[in-house]
Structure 1
Amino acid sequence: MKFAFKFSNLFGTVYRKGNLLFTPDGNSVISPVGNRITIYDLKNNKSSTLPVEGRFNYVTLDLSPNGCTLIAVNEEGEAHLISMVSRRVIHKYRFRRPVSCLRFSPDSKHFAACKDNNVFVFKAPGLYSGEFNPFIMERVFHGSFDETTCMDWSSDSRVLAVGSKDMTTKLYSLEKLANFKTYSLGSHTDSVVACFFEKGSLDLTTVSRNGQVCVWECSIDIDLLRPWEPPAKKTREETHSDSEDDVDTSRAEDSRAVEEVTADPTNSDKLFYKRVARHYLCDLVREQRDVKLTSAAYHKETHILITGFSNGSFFVHELPEVNHIHSLSISDQQISSIALNSTGDWIALGCIGLGQLLVWEWQSETYVMKQQGHFNNMTCFAYSPDGQYIVTGGEDGKVKLWNTSTGFCFVTFHEHTSSISGVQFSRNRKFIISASLDGTVRAYDMTRYRNFRTFTSPRPVQFACVALDSTGEFVAAGGHDVFEIYLWSIKIGRLLEILTGHEGPVVSVAFSPTPASTALASVSWDKTLKLWNAVESGSSHETIQLTADGLCVTYRPNGEEVAVSTLDGQITFFHCKTSQEIGSIEGRNDLGSGRSDTDLITAKKSLQGKAFTSLCYTADGTCILAGGQSKNVCIYNAREALLLKKFEITQNRSFDAVDDFINRRKMTEFGNMALVEEREEGGNVAIRLPGVRSGDMAARAFKPEVRVSCLQFSPTGQAWAAATTEGLLIYSLDKGMVFDPFQLEQDITPNSIRKSLQEEDWAKALMMSLKLNEHDLIQEVVESIRPVDVELTVRSLPEVYMERTLKFVASSLESTRHVEFYLIWIQHMLTAYGPTFQVHLKQAQVMPILLTLQKNLTKKYEELAKICDFNKYTLQYIRKLGEIRSSVKAQEDMEVETVPGIGV
């Protein structure tokens, strides 16, 4: 088992807070998701998360006009300069204060950042500016009297408009201009939310928080702005007079001449602004009081203004007349961010309260994308048997289905009314089950996406766990408040058995993965592990005493042993048939712990109360994955009881209990200063008492702690996932990270492999490339073999190479364009070595490879089925159209022949 796992994607959370961006081509949306950044490709229907992680949540983003450079600023004012080509952080810069807005100039030479009441202008690194040292500050503007909130560049990148909470909009020039000075625009009665220049003009539109839109007209064109030139000095003739009067008189004449030029009434390029219109957009939502405008976006080519409000509605207007075109209400939560793509057709909307991200095409009034994660924490998840789908359950009572290839949620079930405690996929992938604290276990059809079974108990029970047997006929659930296990039949939908014997909450149950086996294991807080065979022997069971309260139980893939995690931080292994303990792992020190802001003890002391709450075996059963009440996930060798690798799932200091120590500067004689909440200014937020603890639990504004609630390996063995506080993190194998040869010999080199290819010794070249185990080289060899020679090459390979060859072909099928060619390989390998694979299935060696093959074949089938169906229906339409036209032509010819007087 190789452990070169690397973070690859983030599911379950689509938007947290901050501003949304469109890429320059308009086909992708960039969304800040906590301390990570996710890119949603709307054209190819895929999502990917950048391998970049900040120390705090990202709140301000901007992308350069060429799409190569992204600047992301987190809550603490730390800016990351990210290359979108290499997807790496190039440079870090600390503003030391929160940044409210960040904008690149249209010519890509500068970018500006709003911090407090100042605006900082930096040179943008790249070919356009000729500067490659990042964050070279060029100008600082201090004109605002309150915090700056928004900004916009003019189309020539020489003038900057900055709005602030002091209800004014200031205009600054980046370079010194002869006919432009710092200008201030008022007329608003609330803080300015957005300001926009017109394309190719200095005309301006400002939008304030109370819904006022002011349209300003500039007196001069943007082309008339002249660079400032110092006045020419007059050459004075040498005089022998040393009197001061002569010197002062000459200086006065020079200054008088400059004043006369400035005050010349014929000077027509003097700049001033005139307000030509004022509109009140909040009048459109008169039925709701205290509605505030929270965000706005403007498309300069089409003159379309989009405004979002605190009641979840947004409006589309056309400027400068502010004609109302379209409106829609998407939720009852405020719209925190709006973005428009390059063509102005797609509107991206983000809602903080729901964690919702929408892309709306306003002309056709259709959703391009509608994604929403779990409103609260994700509690559990499960892979489908082929690894193609993931089902998740959350504290919000929703069950969601995600596609592992695209990263999008495509089905959401709302039937549960309380937190989800467990989800499971059936072995045949036809249905899923979920258990909830509302006292029901529900089964959902994967074909029609409906709830077709609901299982309940004779008396109300909060179900804390659920399990499904390998045949998909029986489902078991353990009670949290009633210490019993309930067994139902999926087919008839009836309660078959109530298993009693536990004296504490049943927190975990698991069926044996062995086919046609109904063995069941359960653990409870009563410090016991019970092994049942409920279908055959009813409530008779075998009890194994544990060292502490049981937290989780899981079977090894071969069904011969179980692993149990207990409250004392240990993982214990038991043999299922003999009930003997065969090993244990003391993992408390590996788990690690951080110090919470409310803790009065150190992190080392609080570690004694931590334990693993989730366990999962690897696909081959040799190692076990463990996680729990900390930010660390550990992989152990089950036989040797050794820690092989530790993964730190997050570095986000916006969560609680991430750091081991609290900053001493925050510790005072009155306690931790992080627990003191500042009064919020502005808006309709009720002023809280000074000194109260931050985090109103009723408002869900508390600081969450880092937790790993569920872990599972993909059935393909190529990835594993963790349900954490910040979402579902996917870790997959990085093939290019480790050099891992197989039976390597000294004379095996890339040159010798290519020489064998030239000699058309296909089997030798393939075996040599498999020994070197370089993915690109194996692909070169496989795709060089002619289709007619595949069968002979496969039969010439020794048996020891078949597993590796099949693994490579199965994984390459996911991204290759040569579908038929690889299908030929698969057909010949399964035909020639099918009996051999059946022998290895019992040893759990080939099953992950076959599951990978099934997953990629299903994916290719679904992709090609749409294209084939479309082509089939198109050909049917063309053929039918040809038949109609031929029949009409034949009928017209017949009518011509029957007309009297016409003939030869």
Structure 2
Amino acid sequence: MKFSYRFSNLLGTVYRRGNLNFTRDGDSVVSPVGNRVTVFDLKNNKSETLPLAARYNVKCVGLSPDGRLAIVVDEGGGALLVSLVCRSVLHHFHFQGPVHSVNFSPDGRKFVVTKGNLAQMYHAPGRTREFNAFVLDKTYFGPYDETTCIDWTDDSRCFAVGSKDTSTWVFGAERWDNLIYYALGGHKDAIVACFFESGSLDLYTLSQDGALCVWQCDTPPEGLRLKPPRGWQADLLRRREEEAEEEEEEGEEETTIRGKAAPPAEELQGKVSYSRLAKHFFNKEGDFNSLTAAAFHKKTHLLVTGFASGIFHLHELPEFSLVHSLSISDQRIESVAINSTGDWVAFGCSGLGQLLVWEWQSESYVLKQQGHFNSMVALAYSPDGQYIVTGGDDGKVKVWNTGSGFCFITFTEHLSGVTGVTFTATGYVIVTSSMDGTVRAFDLHRYRNFRTFTSPRPTQFSCVAVDASGEIVAAGAQDSFEVFIWSMQTGRLLDVLSGHEGPISGLSFNPARSVLASASWDRTVRLWDMADSWRTTETLGLSSDALAVTFRPDGKELAVATLNAHITFWDPERAVQTGSVEGRHDLRAGRKELDKITAKQSAKGKAFTTLCYAADGQSILAGGMSRFVCIYHVREQMLLKRFEISRNLSLDAMEEFLSRRKMTEFGNLALIDQDAGEEDGVAVPLPGVKKGDMSSRHFKPEIRVTSLRFSPTGRCWAATTTEGLLIYSLDARLLFDPFELDAGVTPARVRAALRKRDLTGAILMAFRLNEKPLLHEALEAVPWAEIELVCSSLPEPYVEKALEFLAASLETSRHLEFYLIWAQKLLVLHGQRLKARAGALLPAVQFLQKGLQRHLDDVAKLCDWNRYSIRYALALSRQRGVKRAAEHGDAEDRDAEDGDAEDDLHLLGRGAPGSS
């Protein structure tokens, strides 16, 4: 259980590509993020990434009307049937080709996917268990180019499909006698979206050039007539009905419906026909402002359109009256969605990775999140584990809340890529280094950059570290091979440490002593004594270039990662090597797409570039230019577990072997970009080029792990990767992990001891079983007056177990005061004995501190508001007393009460939260 870390959440990336969806209640947004799917709960202010992953980046997501199921389709056509209730994959399927969109019918019985120039209708999975969840019902042909969008009527009788050939096709979901298919023109560009009116067959179509056509149908939905079977079909239907009475039918026969460009005149008599009522054009600012996405709310007749320039419009149909218009981004709006009530509109911009939720009636943001534009390169946990700070190549520093998964502040003062981030011991100051030649300190109280450290001559800083007191800031230079030391209080440069003969690759302060370790590419690690004029105490010689260095939490061991994929462990006091781990075969770096050799023969990237000790110091976490993260036991020098952080084949360096299918006599097919020039939906070919613009290039990002950190609580660890900020946490819900268990300890005996009021014995047996519900039952059965007596009788091995359980319970329990009394009595009664094992108990204590700090912030904020509300009520009552005194003519009382009321209102205005 100690290393049963599982994928928990994905931070730092909120939207990549694909369509956005609102859940049935309208409170959550489902956003595709790489090859994963994230659900943003707007009501509870939380985000959760589903524990599933597709083989490629997710292209489209379809939600069932009841909100229980979702179909996730990736770029390669692979589909996952996902249960949103239990957050698990129910079925795997492959559509044998790229899919553009998927849409469930309103009754939830069928769904349609658009693939190439055709549409396929499948039977949706029901509540009964089936061998094959997706059964193909019909295949619809008609469009001559790729299909782009789908929309259903309210009664699930018909659906419309838009295409890039500027046509929109209306198909019948059943065999209607008067409607099999109908083709609509009227546009001069590719169809972006099509929508049916509520309770009608009337249709709206929108094209990429900003044109809106309003189509009226001469037949109501009730006027559709089922086509009676004839000939052999009638005999077959009768035979099937007879067989259905004897046994249940197991499958259905696939049919194909082919549309015709010009049906015969006799077929048009009595058929459904459409007529165009109006054609509207959006206000365009130029050819670049093409329409890219749209959504329609049928109940309120509200049309939302997004454009390539980042502008969106709200129109009321069918009058086409403009309700609202705003520019929310400077990038292309890729997807638009509107919730069930019509109040919130979600926008996804893939250029910058933005996800915005706009409440158009109040004209305010419900959600505004954006990840790093380029890859993240550094991260750090706050001392209490509540926050994570990340730095990226885009020069931004973002702070994320680990509880909600949202970024609540972004610092943009750096002018170049951020290379290192760290927290001070207080947790309220962030120190960052950058390639722009500055080291900056940010205050989390006032959200400002209050210190900027610079060097005498311009240099590029590659790493940063802060000592345990938070008074000394050190940064390593990449070009001058020096270490610069500043004072946090004054901002002055204290000293420049020289001696390295290569770029500085890592810095680490000893947590217990004022000793700085600096790793360099000159194959040495130098130890500098901060208390003795910053002189070099020791120089550790290495067998290869040093890439990362870190101290153990107790400061008694040093770990160094080198270029030859070794991790060496050193005793900093005696300057001797105590152990070594070779991780070349454990790292298993992948083969790049353009490499001509296998991954095993390649020597590129086979080294660890980031290290981090666990909270107890017994194991170490290592990662590098690979999709694997390894945990090693330090004393035994063996691999404990290896985590595969991604299986996304859309990223580079994921495969191990050569693919013969891509090797031709003309070279590697990976050199040919099939999608060049079509990112914005418009292909501008050069002369002689058949497809795409060969001057445009798309690249596959390479999978890599740039930074790793264990949480101070020891319950989770985080990694900055190509896909984002991955969080792995301990998941003990399905694990049975007893402690000193014997055959006589059972839940029945625990409850029997509680009935006999043997509270200590019941709690000890509950800890030996180590089941959370039973532990809650045993602890909460103790009266608060007897907590001190029970705590004093607990043996020492169970005190640590009790602290860990209390810390976990404080995260979710509503019995705050009860568990606070437990924590206080345990620490007071066993404090002296716990000091001897302070290093081992540090993760449990920090986990407890994290829960207490979170409750302190919440309760303190609530108490502040209550205090100001009470003072405001008192001020109003005194003002009423002034008026009553004025009516009775008591001048002395009036002056006294008036002065008190003015003082209270003045203090209220000065001290209220958020007031200036």
What TM-score results when the alignment is normalised by the length of structure 2? Answer: 0.90
Number of the residue aligned with 2:781: 784
Residues 306-339 of structure 1: CA deviation (Å, up to 9, x unaligned): 0000111111111001111111112221000000
**CA, structure 1 residues 690+857, in 2 after alignment: closer, same or farther (shift >3 Å)?**
farther
Equivalent residue number for residue 723 of structure 1? 720
How far did residue 799 of structure 1 move?
1.8
Q: What corresponds to 1:849 in structure 2?
A: 844
Partner residue, 1:28: 28
Offset at residue 732 of structure 1 (A): 0.3
* Mean Cα deviation higher: 64-73 or 794-803: 794-803
Q: Give a deviation string over 1:287-309, Cα, whole Å, max 9, x none.
A: x4432100000100111100000
Kept in 2: contact 1:379–1:394 (CA 8 A): yes
- Which residue is equivalent to 2:116? 116
1:258-407 matches, cutoff 5 A? 270-281=271-282, 284-286=283-285, 288-407=286-405
What is the rounded CA distance, in whole Å, between the counterparts of 1:299 and 1:602 in structure 2?
52
Q: Does 1:147 align with 2:146?
A: yes
1:837 aligns with 2:834: yes
Q: Matched residues in 2 for 1:781 and 1:102: separation?
A: 50
Worse overlay, 15-24 or 854-863: 854-863
Tell me, in whole angstroms, the C-alpha distance in 2 between the residues paired with 1:700 and 1:584: 43
Residue 133 of structure 1, CA deviation: 4.0
In structure 2, do the counterparts of structure 1 residues 706 and 261 end up closer, same or farther at CA, with 3 Å as the change threshold? Answer: closer
Aligned counterpart for 2:584 among listed residues 581, 584, 588? 588
Contact 1:115 1:147 in 2 (8 A): yes
Question: In structure 1, what is the Cα distance between the partners aligned to 2:397 and 2:692?
Answer: 31
Aligned counterpart, 1:438: 436
The residue aligned with 2:526 is 530
Task: Classify the secondary structure of the residue corresponding to 1:79.
Answer: strand
- Give, in whole Å, the separation in 2 of the partners of 1:380 and 1:689: 45
Give how far 1:829 is off: 1.3
Q: Distance in 1 between matches of 2:668 and 2:153?
A: 46
The residue aligned with 1:222 is 221
- SS of the equivalent of 2:358 reads strand
> Displacement, 1:770?
0.8
* Preserved contact between residue 676 and residue 691 of structure 1 (Cα < 8 Å): no
Q: Matches of 1:617 and 1:689 in 2, distance apart?
A: 58
CA contact (8 A) 2:294 2:335 kept: yes
Q: Deviations over 1:737-792 (max 9, x none)?
A: 43222121220111111111111211101111111112222122112222222221
Instruction: Please state whether the residue corresponding to 2:432 is helix, strand or coil.
Output: strand
Q: Does 1:455 align with 2:453?
A: yes
Q: CA deviation at 1:860?
A: 1.4
Distance 1:192 1:395 in 2: 37
Q: CA deviation at 1:420?
A: 0.5
What is residue 897 of structure 2 aligned with on the other side? none
2-side partners of 1:705 and 1:625: how far apart?
Answer: 21
Matches within 5 A, 1:524-603: 524-603=520-599
CA contact under 8 A between 1:125 and 1:132: conserved in structure 2?
A: no
Q: Is the 8 A contact 1:482 1:505 kept in 2?
A: yes
Alignment match, 1:92: 92
Q: Answer with 178-187 or 716-725: which moved more.
A: 178-187
How many Å separate the matches in 1 of 2:873 and 2:491? 49
* CA spacing shift, 1:23–1:604, aligned 2, 3 Å: same
> How far apart in 2 are the matches of 1:891 and 1:497?
71
Per the TM alignment, residue 493 of structure 1 is displaced from its structure 2 partner at its CA by: 0.4
CA gap of 1:752–1:37, structure 2 versus 1, over 3 A, is: same
Deviation track 1:792-846 (CA, whole Å, cap 9, x = no partner) reads 11112112211110110011100111111111211211221222222222xx111
Kindly indicate whether the alpha-carbon contact (under 8 Å) linking 1:534 and 1:540 is maintained by their aligned counterparts in 2. no
Other-structure match for 1:7: 7
State the AA in 2 paired with 1:412. T
Counterpart of 2:71 in structure 1 is: 71
Counterpart secondary structure, 2:558? strand
Q: Tell me which residue corresponds to 1:180.
A: 179
Q: 1:272 to 1:456 in 2, by over 3 A?
A: same
Aligned-partner Cα distance in 2 for 1:538–1:115: 67
State whether residues 464 and 507 of structure 1, in contact with CA within 8 Å, keep that contact through their aligned partners in structure 2.
Answer: yes
| 8 Å Cα contact 1:677/1:691 also seen in 2 | no
Q: Is the 8 A contact 1:326 1:362 kept in 2?
A: yes
1:879 deviates by 5.0
TM-score in terms of structure 1 length: 0.91
CA distance in 1, matches of 2:692, 2:658: 16
Aligned to 2:906: none
Number of residue pairs the alignment of both structures matches: 857
Deviation of 1:627 (Å): 0.5
* Deviates most, 607-616 or 816-825: 607-616
1:817 match: secondary structure = coil
C-alpha contact 2:594 2:670 (8 A) present in aligned 1: no
Report whether the alignment pairs 1:803 with 2:804. Answer: no
Do the aligned partners of 1:213 and 1:278 also contact (CA within 8 Å) in 2? yes
Looking at structure 2, the residues matched to 145 and 77 of structure 1 have their Cα atoms a distance apart, in angstroms, of 21
1:672 is matched with 668
Tell me how far apart the structure 2 counterparts of residues 873 and 134 of structure 1 sit (CA, whole Å): 58
Asked whether the equivalents of residues 591 and 630 of structure 1 are also in contact (C-alpha less than 8 Å), the reply is yes
| Correspondent of 1:768 among 761, 765, 770 | 765
Give the counterpart of 2:469 among 465, 468, 471: 471
Q: Deviations over 1:508-538 (max 9, x none)?
A: 0111111xx2200011111111111134233
Determine the structure 2 residue equivalent to 1:510: 508
The whole-number CA distance in structure 2 between the counterparts of 1:321 and 1:723 is 50
Displacement of 1:110 in angstroms is 0.7
RMSD: 2.4
Q: Which amino acid aligns with 2:204?
A: T
Distance 1:892 1:170, change over 3 A: farther
Q: Distance in 1 between matches of 2:618 and 2:515?
A: 21
The residue number in structure 2 matching 1:898 is none
CA contact (8 A) 2:684 2:693 kept: no
Cα deviation, residue 51, structure 1: 0.4
C-alpha separation in 2, matches of 1:4 and 1:260: 70
CA offsets 1:709-752 (integer angstroms, 9 cap, x no match) = 00110000000111111011000001124322212122011111
In the alignment, the residues of structure 1 paired with residue 88 and residue 465 of structure 2 have an alpha-carbon distance, to the nearest angstrom, of: 42
CA distance in 2, matches of 1:774, 1:352: 45
- Greater shift, 66-75 or 589-598, is seen at 589-598
1:643 aligns with 2:621: no
Structure 2 unaligned residues grouped into runs of 5+: 233-263, 891-916
Q: Is the 8 A contact 1:472 1:490 kept in 2?
A: yes
Aligned in 2, Cα 1:179/1:587: closer, same or farther, shift over 3 Å? same
State the alpha-carbon separation in 2 of the partners of residues 891 and 308 from structure 1.
61
Q: Runs of 5+ in structure 1 lacking a partner? A: 234-258, 896-904
Distance 1:90 1:536 in 2: 64
Q: In the alignment, is residue 628 of structure 1 matched against residue 624 of structure 2?
A: yes
Where in structure 2 are the equivalents of 1:809-820 lying within 5 Å?
809-820=806-817
Calculate percent identity across the aligned residue pairs. 52
Q: 1:860 aligns with which of 852, 855, 858?
A: 855
